Structure 1
């Protein structure tokens, strides 16, 4: 709030909501003689003007709603993207108007399928619904089937899974993402260029789809390009750093990179160390402090990003919907969101 501005009071809230001061008082004090539609209008107005008791209003409106706990299983907290995603999921859960919802956010350092399956089963003991970022594997599928048999919906987040009983998927159309990356690189580079794609693991279906889209576009529209074998980063910056240095030593004439998996900070560090930041166009994923810095200093040319807030909101809404329905009414929900595209000039 700017110096000299008074914070909005109850009178300002009543005016903004188009109700009387006494109605605002009744909503604030949780009295039952206010229609839900009116109370909702007061809350919406409070959020618009920044009313100091907005959290209390939200709590009052939720008092009679069913309670739900949702678990979100994300990858390493040290990865900037997942830290941002966790914050967005917490916010979306807190702001959910249909239930009194609690978020349990678990950052997983051990990304082996067995460890993820164990975490899924453990979260299933305390949660009414789960969203998970995981590589596709029979162990993960079995855990999802177990939770589904107990009427606990599981949403595949960011990367889809093959478990037939999953409640849905929330993320990008990753084949389009890969084709978009190929379009950018093929228009930045001369004919007969050599390019490579980095993936975290070949078991992530999102990265498999990115690679498939990347290959298909080059095959159709830039058949003279040479695409060398994918480089695996294991989703870790330290592996990505070493893998990039090895690639640049073995392929000094390489012309462009597409980073479809984790470890982009390690890739950028290696490219700078090798002195290739101005001569090696790179397309990466997801706008973070690291990738924004890469765009600004020229190491990155384009970033293809998840709309984190929209995905978080949609994921929570899907979990709420499934948790309030009998399982016989569940239908698989495939939620594709449009990617965001960032260049140095769009920051």
Structure 2
């Protein structure tokens, strides 16, 4: 290999070594905006390493030949899960594996368990799942693991199953971060409420635990006046938020651990509270990005779906090879209006 060739690593090799998508590498190399500084440095470091060594990042094939994966995310698909789904498909294409993606209704544990069990006999080589915490789902995943089918959980954990890697946020820490930003923005006092999904996601429970722990420790003058279980739809969130604002006209803060932000925004707007109530939510989407810019939302706690997708697919491949997957928690990124950015992979 000539010195000239060593100075120009392939985009796919940089992406593989940096653990990001090829679209992100292309943005960095061409100086386009929308990529976080930490990611830019990671890409540049991978570029420098490859240029200096002249080597490919891995000598083996990116995935076993003919590997077919199944992915099950909570449905109906929303903006955040849509983004993760796109990133999973893009990562699978990049790594040369087949991937079938299904969105299963969040509360339909029977259908999810049956779909997981169907993977036992259809040649599926690995499963990526957003698991609901229910015995049927736990048993189905346990049977897949016992049969030697690699399974990886994303976005939410399912503790107690040996051999089930988790890729996602430290959700308790993310809940504490939401509480910290809420408490600071509210002047360390006032009344708040929070929304969570009626689906049994441990991630929401962990976020709630984190929020309450930091309120106890650092913001004892903040009172939680209501907790509201939703079905993740804007319509239900609108109904609940409208009633909430009528019952508690002095409410100063809302945290939404789940989906349905549009309904809460609409209720705040109808009540004339869209600009003065501190609204904190999770996962940057095109609509929450617009709400941040327009001042209808105070902060978003974000997890990088491109990184989650890349690590999840890599974790399945690692299990096939008998190597250790990368199970570091995905960093919780605090996004405010002044550090707003484009969405990953868009």
TM-score above 0.5: yes
How many aligned positions are there?
A: 298
Q: Deviations over 1:191-233 (max 9, x none)?
A: 5400111111362111111000100000011111111232111
Q: Highest Rg: 1 or 2?
A: 1
Aligned residue in 1 for 2:195? 198
Aligned residue in 2 for 1:130? 127
Three-state SS of the structure 2 residue aligned to 1:72 is strand
Matching of residues 7-156 of structure 1 within 5 Å: 17-18=5-6, 44=13, 65-76=64-75, 78-96=77-95, 100-109=96-105, 111-124=107-120, 125-156=122-153
Aligned pair 1:343/2:339, yes or no?
no
C-alpha deviation, 1:258, in angstroms:
0.7
Aligned residue in 1 for 2:172? 175
TM-score w.r.t. structure 1 length?
0.78
User: What is the alpha-carbon distance in structure 1 between the residues aligned to residue 224 and residue 328 of structure 2?
Assistant: 31
TM-score w.r.t. structure 2 length?
0.78
- Go from structure 1 to structure 2 and tell me whether the alpha carbon gap of 1:102 and 1:16 turns closer, same or farther (over 3 Å shift): farther
C-alpha deviation, 1:168, in angstroms:
0.6
Structure 2: gaps spanning 5 or more residues: 16-21, 28-59, 341-346
C-alpha deviation, 1:135, in angstroms:
2.0
- Go from structure 1 to structure 2 and tell me whether the alpha carbon gap of 1:190 and 1:101 turns closer, same or farther (over 3 Å shift): same
- Go from structure 1 to structure 2 and tell me whether the alpha carbon gap of 1:69 and 1:257 turns closer, same or farther (over 3 Å shift): same
Q: Which fold has the larger relative contact order, with Cα–Cα distance below 8 Å and residues 6 or more apart in sequence?
A: 2
- Go from structure 1 to structure 2 and tell me whether the alpha carbon gap of 1:101 and 1:344 turns closer, same or farther (over 3 Å shift): same
- Go from structure 1 to structure 2 and tell me whether the alpha carbon gap of 1:255 and 1:150 turns closer, same or farther (over 3 Å shift): same
